[in-house]
Structure 1
Amino acid sequence: ISHCFLPRQAEQCTAVATALADAEELPKIPEEDMEALKAAVWKGNLTEAAAKAKEALVRADKIPLNIAVTGVAGSGKSSFVNAIRGLGDTDYSSAAIGITETTMESTAYPHPRYPDVIFCDLPGIGTPAFKSDTYLEQVTFSHYDFFIIISSPRLTCHDISLAQEIQRLGKKFYFVHSKVDLDLTNEKQNGDKEGTLKWRNCIKDLKEAGVASTQVFLISKWDLGKYDFPKLQKVLVDELPSHKRHACLQSLSNIVKETLKKKKEQLQTQIWLKSLASCLSLICDVAILVFHMKRYCLAFGLDEESLTRLAKQIDKPVAELKSAIRNSPLASAITKEFILSLLSRSLCGALMVVELILNFVPGKTNWDGAGL
């Protein structure tokens, strides 16, 4: 690229190596990968460093996350699996729903954008085919990173016994009380979730059963931004091992503002690897920048498919959503020509590219102005 001049190699290696040594929030990749990358940079071998950076990026994006969604038959497990993946109950690849138990075997539902993040809709516990005492063995307990136990209209003895067994075996679990909007309507509580008898009974029952985690997240699939869905997203990310957090965070819906902020922070920690992979050579590898900048847009729902789905969910025109987006192009606009126009504004050294990409990461869109 004629307009892209790299600084002298020795100076560039020193600058990049110093930054790598000082940065505490680098991508959560295996330690051995990061050490190999640092070693290549300190040796002054930029070609090897670029190759190590590419390998680390591939590994970071392939970390599997298996989430089990379980509960009694008819509690709303399948609807939750759809909602947390950003899908409606009638969308393509959505989990089947019904008034009676429709899940007769464990069914894996990959996230539509991040296929290594899998939500598994487990059969309802407490049915003749899946009794409490053999349930975890039947659904291959060891396969899952954590469990989400769905309850509606209230916790049952099966839910509590399942939690006790998961706790005994040393894995995380989270209670989700679905359909809370219907409960509030029925009980005429005017939105005061903590005033419901069911809510108080849930906490009481868990404490009496000796369950360590007594928090119950109250949600409604019709309004994920309301009630406890934001808290649930935060807890899921915060309590995962560091190397799994990236996979979980990128799969979460963009309805919650705090999640958007965390996604941006997480993506910023990967900017070093992306710039190293693309620009530690004689020329900038524009294809790598195009690929990853498109992924940035997809992570924030800045693409036609995501905007169309969101518009349907909140009953607003797509054009209104697009008008609320500031400073960030849609994924379809990220082309080689677009990248070259950005690169032409800098000297294209590795550090310059880092700053360039950092400025590009989508920030806050004007969703408030759109009444979202």
Structure 2
Amino acid sequence: MDGKLSEEQVKCLQAPWRFSLRTAGFEDRLLTALELFERFPLDITVTGGTPDANAQLASAVLVLTTEERKEDHMWLKMELHDRDKPFFLVNAKKVWDVVEEKPSGPCMTCAWERMRARNLELQRRRKEAFGESAVATDSQSPLNTTDASEFVEMKDISEVFAKALPDLKKRAFSQFLVAITRELRIPKFIADETQVVVSSALKYRKINRDDLNFISKLSQPRDVTDHPSKLLAILTSLDDFRLDIGVLGETGCGSSSLVNALLGMKNNEEQSAPTGVVETTKEPTEYPYTEFPNIRLWDLPGLGKIGGLDSQPSASGLNPAQLVASMFAFCDVYILVSPLRLRLGIIQLMQQLSSLGKEYYLVISMADLIEETFVGQVREWAEGVLGVMGLRQNLFLVSAHHPETLDFPKLKEMLNKAMPSHKKVALVKYAAKLLDQDVFWKRSDSCKFM
């Protein structure tokens, strides 16, 4: 599938979906789930220490403890592990950060006696669960599963959670969505008494009423929300998914100069797209969009190029939309470039892209050559034509040689702002096609055998 994900990432995406059935509206439900994820708040619990010690920690899923008391929390760790919940132990600066009493007078003795009693209780429970060998040595204990990498120093917690939070949010959301949709499938006449997750989510503002309406649409059928691993695989793929943006127009329209302007380069700079007074772009060429990871700008060959006439003598009888049909297969978003004014070939491309459900931006290039008094007239006329044709109007008048003028800053701002949305839509289409080809169970029509 054109390298949008590595082979290993494709396998990870496919694995949870084996033997699933695709039902109508699958892409819409998957896109709704991704949009809900963007608004999902991750709730963090801090526990284990005194209020003063806990206050030193940023919001995090962790337990404050000490090296001597870490085994006190092993039962909690095992329980959370069974639920696929993340668990961290944070090393307190001093023992008294994890007890309420201050170490003075007889309270010191009481505190240590309580800690000793807890250790004895832990040993008793381990002995009941695992036999005599469980208490022989700490190193052989089945409960002693904490390694050094899990034990986090207080000073390091910010760095640890900066790396961990994105994955925690994906896991929490996937589990939450499965739980809440399971409740929403309960018959209405008993739902009021059983919707614990729904009522808690509304009470603590994890979702609002509008979100609940969207989630209700996901509850039936259950192809997206029957197991957390399915949605988790899609969310994990989103980070590494490559978005392809194609820049396309008539030959000589200035599309290569526009690519350079979007990349923040000038023509003739090293590694810039080649430009000139003759046809310079003969094959699709990709350039990394440095402002965002995993996004590529494609400088596509111009429509109506003369260089291809010898090898394709019948090409002159085809319209521009037919000539670039193959290009539509690998780009997710398009920037269509028409020099000086709106042209019929670009309108045909817009119609074809609309029919394929692909996003696009319309650029009238070389706008610096339009007399200033006529710029408004060109814009008004183009928007009128698009309105009559029923086409969406993302219209920008641009000068690639003077990108600080006219609509170029607006174009780049809108494009950058829309990147996350474009990426979600493209991933949903990619995943649906990938799963439909290789994973979704193709059930035979039983009517044929009756």
TM-score (norm 2): 0.41
| TM-score normalised by structure 1 residue count | 0.48
Name the larger-Rg structure: 2
